[in-house]
């Protein structure tokens, strides 16, 4: 939870590492693995797992964390695009229409 709080503060204060830390925090929550003697899953708050049993192992994906990772990456891309457009001396990127 501390990592999420630090990432949030970094993001809102405009630090470059804020969104990256947030994406890392979501990425470590995506895999779910369980065998007879070993389990790995990590989640902070909500979780929604999609699991499949392979032999004696249970493999899965935390769909909630995956969705938030993709959303965070999208938001970071939007912010980076806006920041690049505001830099003086940078040529404007023309969007293709059609």
pTM for the whole thing?
0.71
* Residue pLDDT, tens place only, 40-72: 888 777 788 899 998 889 999 999 999 999 999
Residue with tokens 């499949």: 52
> Crossing angle for the helix pair 63-86 and 17-27, nearest 10 degrees?
160
Give the model's pLDDT for residue 67. Answer: 94
Contacts of 88 (CB under 8 A, 6+ apart): none
Percent of the chain past pLDDT 70, that is, above it, reads 83
Three-state SS at 55: coil
Whether the per-residue pLDDT at 9 is higher than 60: the answer is yes
């Amino acid at each position: 939870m501390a990592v999420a709080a630090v990432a949030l503060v970094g993001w809102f204060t405009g630090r470059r590492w804020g969104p990256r830390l947030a994406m890392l925090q979501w990425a470590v929550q995506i895999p779910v693995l369980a065998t007879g003697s070993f389990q790995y899953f990590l989640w902070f708050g909500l979780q929604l797992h999609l699991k499949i049993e392979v032999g004696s192992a249970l493999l899965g994906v935390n769909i909630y964390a995956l969705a938030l990772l993709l959303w965070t990456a999208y938001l970071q891309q939007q912010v980076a695009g806006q920041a690049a457009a505001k830099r003086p001396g940078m040529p404007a990127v023309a969007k293709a229409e059609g």
